[in-house]
Amino acid sequence: MKITELVIFVTLFCAVSALGFAAARWRRPSTLDHLDEWGLGGRDFGSWVTWFLIGGDLYTAYTFVAVPALLFSAGAAGFFALPYTAITFPLVFLVLIRLWSVSRVHGFVTSADFVRARFGSRTLALLVAITGIVATMPYIALQLIGIEAVLKVMGVTGRWPITVAFVILALYTYNSGLRAPALIAFVKDALIYLVIVAAVIVIPYKLGGWDVIFGAAEHKFATTATSHDGILLGGSDQLNYVTLALGSALALFLYPHSVTGILASKSRDVIKRNMAALPAYSAVLGLIGLLGYMAIAAHVVPLDDLFQ
């Protein structure tokens, strides 16, 4: 068991959990019993809060686990996440502003509420809601896998640590509503930027430079049996890359948690500013993806092999 890493993890976890419970008092309304207050933070989030909230919702364990892992195993194809997150925001710009305006006037809290009012069909609204829940399940599972991977590296195994973490998260979300993830997003996103800036400076220095890192990745992919990996895309893979990026961009704001941050904004101008500023996260995402190549150069062993 790695004591130093475990102490840092537990300290941060306790601090973030305390912040989650304290969020109920942040911009405290007269009551949290109204869905607007509990589910959308009173529809009063400004530019900074919205920027951190949406960024925190979109860039989660998927960012730190799935993207580097895809570059580790498949190479350049993993960079599809970079253009897809960059083009998402201009694609949905007008749609989200209109959705916010209509939802604000009529008091809609979810996309399903909008669908029910727009098409006059409870069945269609129910299907939209169920689809959103089902689509979010693998997303939640990935967060839990990310936590499990971190704990395994620190030497903590078993299901109970994940169960405890999930229960605490559920409790402070139930207690504070959307204010909890909004407030925690400030801490989480700041840690993301700090870790990545440090990683792209320290790790390449320790490994001998970027030429060593890319050389190791190129050598690994050159020795694999498949022709669909590599640090450059092959001709037959380029269409797959483009369609994957475009399809992902169109789908991103169909997730319920993505739309929630938009509906919680206090004005159309807040959304406009965020649609222009949120692509900044994509630059960080590119650096995060390079962790996959760094792992190759560092001869990292996949967890499944490490714990067999």
pLDDT digits (tens, 9 = 90+) for 216-269: 999 999 888 777 888 888 777 889 899 999 998 988 888 888 899 999 999 999
Question: What's the start-to-end Cα distance of the chain, in Å?
Answer: 17
pLDDT exceeds 80 at position 307:
no
Count Cβ atoms below 10 Å from residue 137 Cβ, excluding itself: 9
* Domain spans in the chain, listed from the N-terminal domain onward: 3-300
Predicted confidence at residue 1, as pLDDT, reads: 67
pLDDT exceeds 90 at position 282:
no
pLDDT exceeds 90 at position 123:
yes
Would you say 124 and 115 are in contact if contact means Cβ atoms under 8 Å apart? Answer: yes
- Quick one: three-class SS letters along the chain? CCHHHHHHHHHHHHHHHHHHHHHHHCCCCCCCCCHHHHHHHHHCECHHHHHHHHHHHHCCHHHHHHHHHHHHHHEHHHHHHHHHHHHHHHHHHHHHHHHHHHHHHHCCCCHHHHHHHHHCCHHHHHHHHHHHHHHHHHHHHHHHHHHHHHHHHCCCCCCHHHHHHHHHHHHHHHHHCCHHHHHHHHHHHHHHHHHHHHHHHHHHHHHCCHHHHHHHHHHHHHCCCCCCCECCCCHHHHHHHHHHHHHHHHHHHHCHHHHHHHHCECCHHHHHHHHHHCCHHHHHHHHHHCHHHHHHHCCCCCHHHHCC
Predicted confidence at residue 32, as pLDDT, reads: 67
Report which listed range, 39-48, 205-214, 273-282, 299-308, is most confident: 205-214
Which pLDDT band, with edges at 50, 70 and 90, does 128 fall under? very high
With a pLDDT cut of 90, the percent of the chain lying above it is 31
Would you say 66 and 149 are in contact if contact means Cβ atoms under 8 Å apart? Answer: no
pLDDT exceeds 50 at position 172:
yes
Would you say 142 and 62 are in contact if contact means Cβ atoms under 8 Å apart? Answer: yes
Q: What is the pLDDT of residues 152-164, one digit of tens each?
A: 878 888 788 888 8
Which pLDDT band, with edges at 50, 70 and 90, does 308 fall under? very low
